[in-house]
Structure 1
Amino acid sequence: MIATSPARSYTEWGNVRCNVRSLIIIPVYNEEAALQRVLGEVRRAAPQSDLVVVDDGSTDRSTELASQHSGVEIVRHDVNRGYGQSLITGFGQAVAGGYDVAITIDCDEQHEPQRIPDFLRAIGGADIVSGSRYLDPAMPGDPPPPDRLRLNQEFVAKLRAITGYPITDAWCGFKAYRVEALRKLVLTEPSYGMPLQVWVQAAYHRLRVIELPVARIYKNPSRRFWGGLDDPQTRRAYYLRVLEAEVARWLPDRLSLVQGARS
C-alpha cells in the first residue's frame, strides 16, 4: 500500500501557494527497454511526488526492474487487462491514498517527464489538465501516423460538439487530475476508449478542463494497439460504441451527435 503520509510538493492553486500531495501513475506493459530511464527521469523531474507503476501483466522484466527503484510502489495485474484498466487501478491508488493530484504519464518515452512540473502548476486552475500534441502548431514534433491523426480529428470534433470543451487531442495520456474530480468519475472501460468516458463525464460534472501543449513524439510509429484494435476501422467502431454508451448514460440529449457519426 502507498504510504499514508507521502512527500509533499508545492504548487499554485489559484493564487495561493499550497502544500499538495501528488501521485504519478505510470502504466506499464512489457516496457523493460525504457522503464528504468523513464523512472529515473520522472524522479528527477518530480522528486517530492510519489510514484506508482501499474504493471498490466507484463511478460518481460518490467516488474523486476521497477522493484529496483526505491520508493516506487508496484501494483501488478495478474493478466493483461488493458491500458484503461491500468489507469483506473492507478486512480484507485490515488483516491485510497488521500492524494490531492494524480499525474498520468506513459512509459514508452512518448511523454517528457521534465514537463511534470508544468502540469502540477496548471492543475491549480483546473480539475483536469490534458496534454495536447496538436495545440501548438509551432511546437516541434514527429508526424503522427495518418490513421491516428484522422481518428483524433474526427473524435475531437465530436467531443467538442458533445462536451463544449475546445480540446485538440482526445487521447494524450499525459494528464493531471485533481483527485476530488476523479472521485466523481465512474470509469469502467478497460481499453483505449477509457479517455472518452473521462471527457463525457467531465462535461456532465462541469469540471474545469484545460490543455497544455506537449511534444508529439513517436519512437515507434508502428507500435501495436492491443485487443485487436490495430485496424483503424475496427478501432473507430469501438470508439464510437464507447462514446455512444457514455453519452447515452450521462448526456442523453446529445446522443444524436454520436449516432450521426455512424457510417
Structure 2
Amino acid sequence: MIKEYTKQKTDLFNVCVIIPTYNNYKTLTRVIDGVLLYTSNVIVVNDGSTDTTLQILKRYPQIQQIHLSKNKGKGNALRVGFAHAQKCNFKYAITIDSDGQHFPEDISVFITALEKAENKNLLLIGARNMSQESVPKKSSFGNKFSNFWFWVETGIRLQDTQSGYRLYPLQKLKDIKFYTTKFEFEIEVIVKAAWRDVVVKNVPVKVLYDETERVSHFRPFKDFTRISILNTWLVIVTFLYIKPRNLFRNLKKKGIKRFFVEDFLANQDSPRKKALSIALGVFIGLTPFWGFHTVLVLFLAMTLKLNKVIAFGFSNVSLPPFIPFIIYASVKIGQFVLGTDNSYTIQEISIDFKAFKHLKTYIVGSFSLAIISAIIFGILGYVFFAIFHKKTIHHNE
C-alpha cells in the first residue's frame, strides 16, 4: 500500500531518484532494487567506476544511466545528475547513496513531507541517528562540525547536514552557480539554497553502517581540508554580504518607520538584551578593526545570542564622515591613558592620518573609547528600552 502510494505521489510531484555511484558493487544492486519498489523515475550516475558496476547496470535497461569516463567526485556526479533531471523536466530529485547506508523505504518519508509542506520551495535532508553504536565516531564529530558552520552561515539549526539522503528543488538549483565537485558540494548546495530563501529542514531517516559491505571514498585529510576552505569562504561571504543584504532587504520591505518600530523598538527581546546589543555594536564600531566591523559584530551577536539588527545598526557609529573624529578622540584618550603628549589637529588626522605614527597611543585610546562609549550607550539604551517596555505593557493592559 505504501509502495503504491509513494509511486503515485512521486509521479504527481514529478520526483526522480538520483543514485551517484563509484565502486559500490557490493551494495548497488540492493539499493537499485529497493528504489525501484517506490518509483520508476531513477537516474544512476556511474562516476567512472572501475569495478563491476558497469556489468551490474546492464541488468537495468529500464532506468536512465549516465556513465562518466573518469571519477571526478560525488559533487560532480550530483551536478551531472541534476542537469539531466532538469532536462527531463523533473521538479524534484531525491538523492540516495549507493553504499547501502540508506533505506529506500524512507523515500516515502520525503514524499510525505513534501506533500504536507505549504511551501513547496523545499530542500529536505534525511536526519540520521548519529548516536547509535554502528555510526563511526569520526562521522558523528564531522556532522556536529558541519551543523555548527551551517548555522553560522544561514542561521538555521539542523540535526544533520551531512546526510546524502536528500530531496532537492531542481528548478531553484538551476539559478545557482556552484564551484565545488567533491564531497564539499553537499555543503555548498544547502548553504546557497538557504541564501536563496529555500526552506531547508530535516526529516527522520534510518541508517545502516555495515563495515563488511560499505565502501567510503571520503579521504579524511584532503576532503576535510576542502570542506574547511569552503566553510571559510562561505563565512566570509555570509558576514560581508548575506547578513547585511538580509538586513537591508528587511529594511526596504518594511520601510524605515515600520522596521524601526518592529525590529528595533517592539522586538520581543528584553531591555537588557537590547542594551547589550547596543553596547556590542558601539564597542565593535569604535575598535581599530577597520573593514571587519560588520563581520565581527554579526558573528559576536550570533554567538552571544544578542539582537543582530540592533548590534549591526550601532556598529555603524564609525561611518566614513565620523572616522576623523573617532581617530582624534582615540588619540587624545590614548595620550591621557599613557601620559604622552603628541599634538594633532583634525585636519592632520583626516588628510594624512599622522596620528598612526604613534600606533600604540591610537590603539590604547581606541579600545578605551570603545569601552567607555559602549558602557554609556548601553546604560542609556537600557533606560530607554525599560521605559518603552513598561509603557507598552501598560498600553496593552
TM tier relative to shorter chain: 0.7 to 0.9
SS at match of 1:45: coil
Report the equivalent of 2:18: 25
Displacement of 1:87 in angstroms is 0.8
Matched residue SS, 1:34? helix
* Inter-CA distance 43–164: structure 2 relative to 1 (3 Å threshold): same
Where does structure 2 lack aligned partners over 5 or more consecutive residues? 1-5, 244-294, 300-397
Shift of 1:99: 0.6
Larger CA deviation: 31-40 vs 101-110: 31-40
Aligned to 1:11, which of 9, 19, 28? 9
In the TM superposition, what is the alpha-carbon distance from 1:106 to its structure 2 partner? 0.8
- Other-structure match for 1:3: none
**Relative to structure 2, which stretch is displaced further, 181-190 or 211-220?**
181-190
Q: Of Structure 1 and Structure 2, which has the larger fraction of its residues in helix? A: 2
**1:1-263 correspondence to structure 2 within 5 Å:** 9-11=7-9, 19-46=12-39, 49-124=40-115, 125=117, 126=120, 127-134=122-129, 141-220=132-211, 223-226=215-218, 229-231=219-221, 234-249=222-237, 252-253=240-241
Inter-partner Cα distance in structure 2 for 1:251 and 1:179 = 27
Shift of 1:237: 2.7
Query: Are the equivalent residues in 2 in contact too, given 1:123–1:177 (CA < 8 A)?
Result: no
Please give the per-residue CA displacement for 1:61-93, whole angstroms capped at 9, x wherever unaligned: 212211211311110111110011111111111
What amino acid is the match of 1:95?
A: Q
Relative distance call for 1:66 and 1:51 in structure 2 (3 A) is same
Q: 1:213 offset after TM fit, Å? A: 1.1
CA distance in 1, matches of 2:41, 2:209: 27
Structure 2 letter corresponding to 1:165: I
What is the CA-CA distance between 1:250 and the residue it aligns to? 6.2
**Partners of 1:142 and 1:217 within 8 A in 2:** no
Residues 116-156 of structure 1 show CA distances to partners (whole Å, capped at 9, x for unaligned) of 12212212424111101148x7xxx4432112211211221
For residues 223 and 146 of structure 1, the distance between their equivalents in structure 2, rounded to whole angstroms, comes to 16
Range 153-162 or range 248-257, more displaced: 248-257
Deviation (angstroms), 1:193: 0.4
The alpha-carbon distance between structure 1 residues 158 and 41, as it changes in their structure 2 partners (threshold 3 A), is: same
> Partners in 1 of 2:158 and 2:13 — Cα distance?
27
Q: CA deviation at 1:247?
A: 4.1
Find the aligned partners of 2:154 and 2:237 in 1 and give their Cα distance: 14
Distance 2:25 2:61 in 1: 17
Cα contact 1:24–1:52 (8 A) shared by 2:
yes
Task: For 1:41 and 1:9, locate their aligned partners in 2 and report how far apart those are by CA, in whole Å.
Answer: 13
The structure-2 alpha-carbon separation of the partners of 1:50 and 1:250, relative to structure 1 and needing over 3 Å to count, comes to farther
- Structure having greater relative contact order (Cα 8 Å, sep ≥ 6): 1
Counterparts of 1:225 and 1:132, CA distance in 2: 21
Larger radius of gyration: 2
Higher strand share: 1
Q: Which moved more, 1:170-179 or 1:183-192?
A: 183-192
Distance 1:95 1:252 in 2: 32
CA contact (8 A) 2:147 2:160 kept: yes
3-state SS, counterpart of residue 39 of structure 1: helix
**Residues 92 and 248 (structure 1 numbering): CA distance in 2 closer, same or farther, change over 3 Å?**
farther
TM-score (norm 2): 0.54
Q: How many Å separate the matches in 2 of 1:83 and 1:213?
A: 23
Give unmatched runs, 5+ long, in structure 1.
Answer: 1-7, 13-17, 258-263
Poorly superposed stretches of 4+, deviation over 6 Å: none
Moved more, 126-135 or 76-85: 126-135
RMSD, matched Cα = 2.5
User: Counterpart of 1:30 in 2: which secondary structure?
Assistant: coil
Partner amino acid, structure 2, of 1:236: F
